[in-house]
Structure 1
Amino acid sequence: MAGGIYTSQNKVRPGAYINFKSVPKPTGKVGSRGVVTLPIQLGWGSSEEIIEILSEDISNGALIDKIGYYGHEAEIAPIREALKNSYKLLLFRLDSNGQKATVTSDNLNIVAKYDGVIGNRISVVVKEANSKFEVITLIDTKVVDKQVVAKVEDLQSNKFVEFSGTGALQGTAGVSLVGGANGTVAQDAYSKYLGLVESKKFDTMGVFTNETTIKENVLNFIKDLRENKGKKVQVVINEFNGANYEGVISVDQGYKTVDTEIDVKGFVGYMAGLTAGAALNKSNTYHVIPNAVSIINPKNDEEITKGIIDGKLMLSYSNDEKVVIETDINTFTGFSKDKSKDFSKNRVMRTLDNINNSVKSLFENTYLGKVDNSESGRTSFKSDIIVYLKELVKLGAIEEFENDEIVIQKGEEIDSVVVALGVKPIDAMEKLYMTVSVG
């Protein structure tokens, strides 16, 4: 199997050669978004930790060192899709307890570092080098490690294999590891993932599962982060508009390009990455899906109208036949006097969430334990909040406000501070009502 990136159209072996443009890390203090997290099944990697992947890892070839994939493979479509619009992915491998690929060559034992089918693509070459031996580890035809040693005991394990044995090395043109097999998703896999990612900084999570219990557990996790931990994040889940919550986005479609098919699982990744990377002053309503030519599970006009009412984020066709996001909404539909329809709009929620996260971060990094809870200390805190909110005004995320709309007071306890502020988030134009008079 061949594949990877290309600089010119000169490849000989058949395969998918895909150039991937990386997403740069935001540099601004306001609206610095772009971190997405996904739990998925893989054929390589640790199932005990969060793996950090940057969008540039696909374009520069570093992805294969981290998870054993080039980036074009169908089974990691959610990863590729998520990184199209976000700069960092926090990845968790759900499956575990598979089989590690192995091979024995004379007195040299070689075992894949992780279980999974990727181990079957590993081979090791031993070549004589003067009085020593050069040991080369490859995945497909890519060299991932080279060592020059005198005997087996001198070999050091690398990112892909572990060596063992004793005695002199024997030259070989190449031995391939075999027997690698993927594991299964244990009952506690999602709980382990949620426990690991809870302390990480991310903007949007993407979860694909058909298990109702898992969906409900993820919903409760997101609610706990948003309402009890002060960490305003969202999650994209397949077919879960019944969540009726501003922190959950539900999708049930996919799309096709001329040569690829992105199913619902892949679109969960795409939408999670797009939401994570969306700026505060940008709505994803009518966002054009690049290179998409058709929709998987398309909706007619009646279904789209009902879907919006039910809290579904859907794909549709624009008048010029492009595949677009119909409207950038979450699953919240329980509108009330206290929580209006505005809370169902993701651009509005990004603004409100950023205000929460930014003011919380400002307090913890600059004031907590450092500044006196006095009139001057609270005045300084208010001034910093005003500076931040004025940046949001410049971005077009909120409307102009009066300084006296921000009130900071001493709380009931000697060390507490109470903040009250009023803002009016700005949303994008979505509906045009026009009357044309003729006469």
Structure 2
Amino acid sequence: MAGGIWTTQNKRRPGAYINTKGTSQPTPDTSLGRTLLIGSGDLNWGPKGIVEVDSTTDFRAVLGTDLTDTRLIPLRETLKGALTVLYLNGNDGERAAVADEKLPWTFTAKYPGTVGNTLTVTVEKDPDDETLITVKTLFGTTLVDEQVVRTTTASGLESNAYVDVTFTGDATDPVGDAEATDGGADFTFEAGKAKLEALAASTSYTLAGGTTTSVDVTEMLNDVLATENYNVVTTAGYAADSNLHALVATAIERLRDDEGYKVRAVVPLMEGAPKYDHEAVSVVSNGVELVDGTILTATQAAGWFAGASASADAGKSLTYVAYPDAVSAVPKRTNEQTIAALNAGEIVFTTLTDGSVVVEQDINSLVTISKDKLKAFQKNRVIRTLDAIATDTMDVFHTQFIGKVNNDSTGRSLFKANRVSYLKDLSDASVINPVDVADLTVEPGEDRDSILVTLAITPIDAMEKLYMTITVN
């Protein structure tokens, strides 16, 4: 899929090349609410690469710990705003395992890492019926799985979220004919049955050999940024002076301009660092205190803003949106400090007189205004609108027009009608002002297989300032 911006009509690949400047049905934005979070902690568990999680996820199973762990504070905060988080996990190594000749199974940890060495499997016989076997999996001291099989149905023992189970039976040839047993499982090794019968009433087996090989997430970053389905990426959780923030910001600019992916980034502020000065990068400058007394730094609080930004559609502004469970901004900014931060293109959390903590203004880091990037481009709601139009237009062109529709007056009229319909939907939803048909043109391009589209729109912003004069008679 080709895309990006264009200066001259010299592109080689078929695709949609769209510039955003100051002067059939649309494809749904399936990335809405999806945030890419680059994991910053060594969790020693979970799959290497992307772990897709939401509020219903069993975090202990997939990441080896729960959201109360301080290492997952950025993830917890991101999930307060996002619908789905793509957690980039830099975990690799060897999987813990146990293979005891007394058992007809081998048990292997689901994922690499030293956390696998805390897994225990117990095999218990029913005191009233020794053909009934209860197999339990413990994560530390917590029971996470329990299954009951018979000595004649041992092959029916299933893997679970923590342990992969392999039925081994016995190394000898099967004795007698294999017969279907309860649950449809086949027990083909009579000697394996004898193993279970020979076990003590209760035996325990601790997995061992799990090792962690930490992976530098920067090695995976470019591939993940370009291939995963998300609309906001954040480096929340990394120290403010980490070079990862600048790497991500640069990658986002490249993806937008060179490849047409309208994704955005949220990073924490590093005092004294060069300005990002880009409409797709938002910079969080302070943190918050939560109702339980937890103090979140700017880099941790950046997670919530990233999640909320990913979930906000083109018709929503985050200006004065409250930070969940927050009771104070940390540090609090004076009026002069707040104005200076806003002028520098920073996200500021502000404590209101009612005790709530809100986003002062939903802006990005753009501070240099030009004829192609007007003052309106500093507003994230405007950028979300422009991104939504560009992304939908690209998707429609790719799926409905490339290679399918003739590049003649009829074909160009079809494309224009499609876009007029989409823009009317945006207008009806109060995302943009009504578009006159004359504001959209679809003309032949310089090559016989290209078209040139020009569009003038006016995005709608939210009310933010009240100027009022009261006259007393």
Band the TM-score falls in, shorter-chain normalisation: 0.7 to 0.9
Gaps of 5+ in 1: 1-27
Is residue 264 of structure 1 aligned with residue 263 of structure 2?
no
User: What amino acid is aligned across from residue 44 of structure 1 in structure 2?
Assistant: W
After superposition, where does 1:11-410 map in structure 2 within 5 Å?
A: 33-40=32-39, 41=41, 42-47=43-48, 49-55=49-55, 57-58=56-57, 62-97=58-93, 101=96, 107=102, 110-116=107-113, 118-128=115-125, 130-131=130-131, 133-139=133-139, 140-144=141-145, 146=147, 148=149, 158-162=160-164, 168-169=195-196, 170-171=199-200, 172=202, 174-177=204-207, 183-186=213-216, 189-208=217-236, 209-210=238-239, 212-239=242-269, 242-259=275-292, 261=294, 262-410=296-444
Q: What is the distance in 1 between the residues matched to 2:209 and 2:298?
A: 31
Shift of 1:51: 1.9
Return the offset for 1:415: 1.2
Tell me, in whole angstroms, the C-alpha distance in 2 between the residues paired with 1:196 and 1:320: 42
- Deviation, structure 1 residue 217: 1.9
Secondary structure of 1:83's aligned partner: helix
How big is each residue's C-alpha offset from its partner over 1:63-99, in whole Å with a ceiling of 9 and x where there is no partner?
Answer: 44433344443322222222223222222102444x7
Encode CA deviations 1:134-165: one digit per residue, 9 max, x unaligned: 43323353433637475999576554235678
Q: Please identify, of 385-394 and 88-97, the stretch whose mean Cα deviation from structure 2 is larger.
A: 88-97
Change (3 A) 1:431 1:121: farther
2:277 counterpart letter in structure 1: N
2:4 aligned residue: none
- d(CA) in 2 for partners of 1:77, 1:326: 23
Cα distance, 1:46 vs structure 2: 1.4
Cα pair 1:30 1:388 within 8 Å, conserved = no
Q: Is the 8 A contact 2:332 2:351 kept in 1?
A: no
Paired residue type of 2:316: K
- Corresponding residue for residue 15 of structure 1: none
Structure 1 distance, partners of 2:145, 2:447, is: 59
Contact 1:31/1:280 (<8 A) preserved: no
- 1:415 to 1:124, Cα distance in 2 relative to 1, 3 A: same
TM-score (norm 2): 0.77
Amino acid at match of 2:135: V
Aligned-residue offset at 1:192: 0.6
Deviation at 1:101, TM superposition (A): 5.0
Distance in 2, Cα, partners of 1:358 & 1:143 = 44
Cα distance in structure 1, aligned partners of 2:27 and 2:341: 36
Structure 1 residues 297 and 123, CA, compared in 2 at 3 Å: closer, same or farther? farther
For residues 390 and 163 of structure 1, what CA distance do their matches in structure 2 show? Answer: 56
Q: What SS class does the counterpart of residue 419 from structure 1 fall into?
A: strand
SS at match of 1:382: helix
Partners of 2:67 and 2:145 in 1: how far apart?
A: 17
Q: C-alpha displacement at 1:31, in angstroms?
A: 6.0
1:195-249 deviation per Cα after TM superposition (whole angstroms, max 9, x unaligned): 1241222110111334553222212210111111111111111115711111111
Q: Residue 85 and residue 74 in structure 1: after superposition, are their counterparts in 2 closer, same or farther (change >3 A)?
A: same
Moved more, 286-295 or 375-384: 286-295
In 2: Cα distance, 1:268 partner to 1:43 partner: 24
- Higher mean displacement: 387-396 or 262-271: 262-271
Aligned residue type for 1:244:
D
Contact 1:50/1:197 (CA < 8 Å) preserved in 2? no
Q: Is the 8 A contact 1:145 1:158 kept in 2?
A: no
Q: How many residues align?
A: 404
Aligned mates of 1:228, 1:75 — CA distance in 2: 35
After TM superposition, the score normalised by the length of structure 1 is: 0.82
Which residue does 2:469 correspond to in 1?
435
Matched residues in 2 for 1:264 and 1:178: separation? 39
Asked whether the 8 Å contact 1:348–1:425 carries over to 2, the reply is: yes
Deviations 1:276-299 (A, max 9, x none): 001211110011112211223332
The 8 Å contact of residues 138 and 145 in structure 1, kept in 2 or not, is answered as no
**More deviation, 264-273/148-157:** 148-157
Equivalent position of 1:11 in the other structure? none
Partner SS state of residue 123, structure 1 = strand
Paired residue type of 2:290: T
SS in 1 for 2:358: strand
State the distance in 1 between where 2:133 and 2:311 align.
48
Q: 1:297 to 1:104 in 2, by over 3 A?
A: farther
CA 1:104–1:284 in 2, change beyond 3 Å: closer, same or farther?
same
The answer for the alignment partner of 1:25 in structure 2 is none
Q: Higher relative contact order by CA 8 Å / sep ≥ 6: 1 or 2?
A: 2
- For the Cα contact (< 8 Å) 2:27–2:396, is it kept in 1? no
SS of residue matched to 2:81: coil
Quote the Cα distance in structure 2 between the aligned partners of 1:149 and 1:298.
64
What is the distance in 2 between the residues matched to 1:70 and 1:433?
A: 48
Q: Cα 1:229–1:128, aligned 2, differ >3 Å: closer, same or farther?
A: same
The answer to whether the 8 A contact 2:282-2:347 is kept is yes
1:8 corresponds in structure 2 to none
Q: Cα distance, 1:431 vs. partner?
A: 1.4
